[in-house]
Amino acid sequence: MDFTGPVELWQKEGAPGCPQKGLPCSPDSSELVQECLNQFKVTTTQLRQIQASLLRSMEQALTGQASPAPAVRMLPTYVGSTPHGTEQGDFVVLELGATGASLRVLWVTLTGVEGHRIEPRSREFLIPQEVMLGPGQQLFDFVARCLSEFLDAYPLGSQEYPHFLDQRF
């Protein structure tokens, strides 16, 4: 697909100059706009190729076959069950932001269908660029430090939480 940038479109032969800013312009701007938009049209075949490439990249990343700078970064996650609305107890949640630039630590108490609602406590941590781009061990060390700092700020008392890896799926 040939790319003609916006400046090149305006500078085609025969396009008169715009007197206000000294930029060339087209006498029929709707044709010019349509010509620009046509460059962004994607065929069904192209969409299927993009879909297949994305799926291949995700599968490679999940199996550890990704290159040093993968197109898609993935971590395998597991969901033991879906929520049903009657969950009760204290839960600590770790959430990586959509861009990977932040980590949110959240402590929430769920009371099930009955009882009063307790507001969650949370704190957001900005992830340094070198941690985002570094090895996974560096990220997990950062997460552990943030969790420790959060628990120091919001002590959970003598409560004990089951270790995630001890749960059976």
**How long a stretch of residues is the chain?**
169
Q: Is the pLDDT of residue 42 over 80?
A: yes
pLDDT bucket at 5, cuts 50 / 70 / 90: very low
Give 3-state DSSP helix, strand, coil % of the chain, rounded to 5: 35, 15, 50
pLDDT for the residue 82: 82
Q: Which domains does the chain have, with CATH numbers?
A: 6-38 (no CATH), 88-159 (3.30.420.40)
User: Which residues have C-beta within 8 Å of that of residue 123, sequence separation ≥ 6?
Assistant: 104, 105, 146, 149, 150, 153
Asked if 61 and 70 count as a contact pair (C-beta separation under 8 A), the reply is yes
Query: pLDDT: is 128 or 80 the higher one?
Result: 128
pLDDT for the residue 144: 94
pLDDT in tens, 43-100: 999 999 999 998 888 888 777 765 666 677 777 677 777 878 788 888 888 998 878 8
pLDDT for the residue 92: 86
pLDDT bucket at 167, cuts 50 / 70 / 90: very low
pLDDT for the residue 61: 78
Looking at the whole model, is its pTM more than 0.75?
no
pLDDT bucket at 109, cuts 50 / 70 / 90: confident
By the 10 Å C-beta count (0-12 exposed, 13-18 middle, 19+ buried), 103 is classed as buried
Consecutive H or E run containing 161:
none
